[in-house]
Chains A and B, each alone.
Chain A
Amino acid sequence: MPTTKAITGNGAMAQAMRQINPDVVAAFPITPSTQIIEDFAEFVADGEVNTELITVESEHSAMSACIGASAAGGRVMTATSANGLALMWEMLYIAASMRQPVLMSVVNRALSAPINIHCDHNDSMGARDAGWIQIYAENNQEAYDNMIMAPAIAEHMDVRLPLMVCLDGFIISHSIETMELEDDQKVRDFIGQYQGQNTLLDNEHPVTWGALGLHDYYIEFKRGQQMAIQNAKAVIQDVSERFGQQFGRKYDLFESYRLDDAERVIVAINSVAGEIKEVVDALRDEGEKVGLLKIRVFRPFPYAEIAEALKDVKVITVLDRSTSMGAYGPLFGEIRTALYDANPRPLIYNRTFGLGGRELFPDDIREVFAESKRYLESGKIEKLFDFLNVRGG
């Protein structure tokens, strides 16, 4: 039986880690993800898990140790945020390219400067090209559920890639919310045993990891890696389906919220989806045809499925909680690409919001829908790209 608990997002991630019981966790603390490892360290100290916890001297070392432990044949996990993720950068690519299914909680936080500990998505968005599967979560329950699904996805033989579960710093990580914690044994049955491939500690079959591959081979390896992450899409759907059957909560590549017959839709990621749903419900009550498409899987990006889900929509507002300096928001780029071939092509525009933890209140979201209503009526976009809720306009 699941237990209903009021628990923080970080607490929920630590519980998922306890249930997964990884062989190795190597981590370095950084706000707002610190509590995940603090809680987990207690589980280690109390003997509730068999994990070797390595307290390293930096995030670069954390990811290096994770890669080594994974290549040695262990199921490996870690957690980080913002500048910590940035310090892992080169190792993120190596984990993915060496096809090590390392699992990581990324508690989204703004990158310096100015120093800021609050939520935005620049950290994980910056890592979007590193080859990791990225799954995002609206709330504590989704973050926990995503992590329970993570091993089965990352370790699948068609995939074998590292996976990050992203959740909003403070908004989710430090908020107590009512959620269902599933039964330990049921979770363990769901995720199964990990089988390392070509492991370093198999002395009977010595192998070399991390060899050279130049212009004669490098691109072939990258081609194979691209195939693997594309394979992840179907695997995520399968695992989500199986999770739904087992635990009753349904997940897909993204969430369609009141999209049927919707004319105006917001596309967004993570916790802000909760506020948007409230506003969508209120506007629907007022007779407006509005909806929300909430991204769950950002890498691999489900272009075709999203194009299908949005094919009858007339105006799309893409909300990016990150900035690609000198370019449009990363989510906007993907959504616009997904809909380039749509006929008729909807109006699509981009709004940046929430950097460094700036709140987006329901009134702000109402204004977004009011703007998209103007665009629907006039048939043209006045401003393609802009910031929301910023002083000075």
Chain B
Amino acid sequence: MSDKYKLKKWQELAPGGVITEGGNAADYETGTWRTWRPVWCEDDCIHCLTCWVFCPEGAFLLKDGQTAGGKPRKEIEEIDYFHCKGCGLCVRECPVNKQGKKQAIEFVREET
């Protein structure tokens, strides 16, 4: 965690607890909470973005891509492990995983 989130003294706090910067949850590292890690398997991913919808931490990062027919679409780029807290929602909701033949997101135990 950056110095910015070092616990402050009372004199340093904004009156009334107002938070003056939007979206600062992005600075908060929830990646340290993981005991299990989702691993994205690019070859089997169909880029339906269900994982991106369900992820409570916004940890699926997107990039611009194309369908087989050449139409523009968003595609998964990678998992952001600074924010991924290992809840496993993506693993459960992935339609490829649900078919049971292949796994587009594997869930593996964090190494200790």
Contacts and interface: CB of A to CB of B under 8 A. Distances in A.
Note whether A and B contact each other (Cβ less than 8 A).
yes
Interface of A: 97-100, 160, 197-198, 205-211, 213, 216-217, 220-221, 223-224, 227-228
Nearest to A199: B18
A158 B24 CA distance: 27
B20 A97 contact: no
Contact of B16 (A98, A206, A216, A227): A98
Chain B interface mostly? loop
Chain A interface mostly? loop
Given A207-B20, A216-B7, 16 more contacts: A98-B17, A100-B16, A160-B15, A160-B16, A197-B18, A198-B14, A198-B20, A207-B18, A208-B18, A210-B17, A211-B17, A211-B19, A220-B9, A220-B13, A221-B13, A221-B17
B22 interface: yes
B15 A224 contact: yes
Given A198-B20, A205-B20, A207-B20, A223 B10 contact: yes
Contacts of B19: 207-208, 211
Interface string B14-36: 11111110100000000000000
B71 interface: no
Nearest to B12: A220
B4 interface: no
Nearest to B23: A206
B8 interface: yes
Nearest to B18: A198
Contacts of A217: 7, 13, 17
Nearest to A95: B16
B10 A221 contact: yes
Contacts of A216: 7
B17 A213 contact: yes
A208 to B, nearest CB: 4
21 contacts: A98-B17, A100-B16, A160-B15, A160-B16, A198-B18, A198-B20, A205-B20, A207-B19, A207-B22, A208-B19, A208-B22, A209-B16, A209-B18, A210-B17, A211-B19, A213-B17, A216-B7, A220-B9, A220-B13, A221-B10, A221-B13
B10 to A, nearest CB: 4
A100 B16 CA distance: 8
A100 B17 CA distance: 11
B11 interface: yes
A196 to B, nearest CB: 11
A219 B37 CA distance: 36
A223 B9 CA distance: 10
Which 8 A-B residue pairings sit nearest by Cβ, starting from the closest? Answer: A99-B16, A208-B19, A223-B10, A220-B10, A98-B16, A99-B15, A206-B22, A198-B18
B17 A228 contact: no
Nearest to A210: B17
Nearest to A160: B15
A140 B39 CA distance: 73
A228 B20 CA distance: 20
Contacts of B18: 98, 197-198, 207-209
A205 to B, nearest CB: 7
Contacts of A207: 18-20, 22
Contacts of A99: 15-16
